[in-house]
Amino acid sequence: MEEKRFERKSRARRGDKKEENSEFKQKLLDIRRTARMAAGGRRFSFRALVIIGNKQGKVGIGLAKGADVTIAVEKAVNQAKKNLIQVPITENKSISQMTEAKFGAAKVMLKPAPKGRGIIAGGAVRVICNLAGIENVVSKIIGRTANKLANAEAAIEALRKLS
């Protein structure tokens, strides 16, 4: 008599999500809790700002809201994949020329740097340059805002001007 063995298939659970061919690195830049008034009190949702890049010239920014932090981040990553830009990078892992861009109250300046200088940038601009694959750059946030979203958008706009 032959003995039958039943193997249990493993079920995919919510937290067990596999990284689908993730060629992009992602960085959560900002998370905010937003509220709206509804009958019975405040309803909270979360806004996520995510930067994705492949460290070879492609970088994108995504902003999304969701009822949960993980949902907001997931939506923001999908948004960032739709907003990818290609950044031309020189052989010494820098940008080709100086560029400036303004977005709202944010103004960002990016300058090429010699090999070995590193990323001299702060906040959102540093993350964007790092994920784009730019290793030698000097930048300055000239604008009068500390808003990460506005500074990130200005940095993306400055890199978009290069292509």
Q: Where are the domains of the chain?
A: 21-85, 87-162
3, 4, 5, 7: CA torsion to nearest 10: 170
Q: State percent of the chain over pLDDT 70.
A: 87
Compute and round to an integer the Cα radius of gyration of the chain: 20
Q: Specify whether the CB–CB gap between 76 and 50 falls below 8 A.
A: yes
Which residues, including other chains, have CB under 8 Å from residue 48's CB and lie 6 or more apart?
Answer: 28, 30, 31, 62, 63, 64, 65, 66, 69, 72, 73, 75, 76
Q: Specify whether the CB–CB gap between 135 and 107 falls below 8 A.
A: no
Question: Which whole-number Å values give the CA distances from 115 to 5, 54, 92, 94, 118, in the listed order?
Answer: 62, 20, 5, 8, 8
Question: Which whole-number Å values give the CA distances from 22 to 70, 76, 77, 132, in the listed order?
Answer: 17, 15, 11, 15
Q: What is the pLDDT of residues 92-106, one digit of tens each?
A: 999 999 999 999 999
| Residue with token string 């009068």 | 144
**CA 75-77-79 angle, 5° bins:** 70
The answer to whether residue 109 scores a pLDDT higher than 70 is yes
Q: Residue 39 gets which letter from DSSP?
A: T
Q: State percent of the chain over pLDDT 90.
A: 83
**CATH class for the domain made up of 87-162:** alpha beta
Q: Specify whether the CB–CB gap between 96 and 163 falls below 8 A.
A: no
Confidence of residue 163 (pLDDT cuts 50, 70, 90): confident
In the structure encoding, which two tokens stand for residue 22, read together?
């993730």
Q: Which of 41, 40, 33, 29 is nearest to 67 (CA)?
A: 33
CA distance 147 to 56: 27
What per-residue confidence (pLDDT) applies to 8?
64
The CATH-assigned architecture of domain 21-85 is 2-Layer Sandwich (3.30)
